[in-house]
Amino acid sequence: MSTPIAAPDAVADRTATKRTILMCKPTFYTVSYRINPWMHPEAPTDTSKAVQQWQRLYDVYRELGYDIELIDPIEGLPDMVYAANGGFVLDGIAYGAKFQYPERQPEGPAYMDWFRGAGLEVAEPAETNEGEGDFLLVGDVILAGTGFRSDSTSHEEIARIYGREVVTLKLINPSFYHLDTAVAVLDPEPVDGVANIAYLESAFDEPSLAILRERFPDAILATEEDAAILGLNSYSDGYNVVIAARATTFAEQLRERGYNPIGVDLSELLLGGGGVKCCTLDLHPIGTGTSRRQEQR
């Protein structure tokens, strides 16, 4: 039996940690194809509105004191705004994305070029994966989603790269095709080994639910209504949690646990199947995993 990653008190003192993130302005955003249930190319989209909403998210992050890096958007790649899918960064190493659908495949090399330019070591992927869309760091463990986009063989690949435990979770609801649509990491840098998450039970198969319940006994269980507007697709610094403005029940659940929810309207970007976290790639600082990885070589 595994040791629970998280079992904090119902209400605890929370501390915000400094975050460094990567974002991409939705200059060329539109919905011109359909690769998830949210996308309807026959319906009009408003690029200007998307830019305004994204700018508000950017401004919130600035107000919170985050360091924000930007990758230049590329014409013809409307989904580049969903920066979280562009890779997974940890211990100074960027594991590149290898997208399932042809429409997004050019994003992988574009993000890897940015990682190299930023001085990161780039691990080019052999297996299909969509970055932080399906890989979430919780404590010293990487939660890894599969079922719709990332191949489960990428879980073995990322485990070799970082030398950390990788926990596979299978998604079964097409509306929650990435792990970050069904799981929110609430404590990105746990103190004394304590970390926690929120998740949507109906997004996972029964074996995955058993894992989540064992490892996260005090997790917040999101409502179907909040999840349906990608309320779980949120970004936390350990105290402030930026969420979909309409996810009011989730906001109350967070307040009850001592977090500070901040609502942002990204309704235009929701038309492409993305929310707060999708627009936010965490550039995790070098941590203990580096020495652990070197020891395993």
DSSP 189: S
Question: In 3-state terms, what secondary structure has residue 100?
Answer: coil
DSSP category for residue 78: G
24 included as an active-site residue: no
Lookup: tokens for 31: 């919905």
Q: Are strands 141-146 and 135-138 parallel, antiparallel or unpaired?
A: antiparallel
- CB burial of residue 119 (10 Å; 0-12, 13-18, 19+): exposed
Separation between Cα atoms, residue 254 and residue 236, nearest integer Å:
11
Catalytic residue among 24, 40, 155, 178: 178
List the catalytic residue out of 24, 278, 279, 284.
278
Which of 208, 217, 215, 253 lies closest to 234, judged by CA?
Answer: 253
Catalytic residue IDs: 178, 278
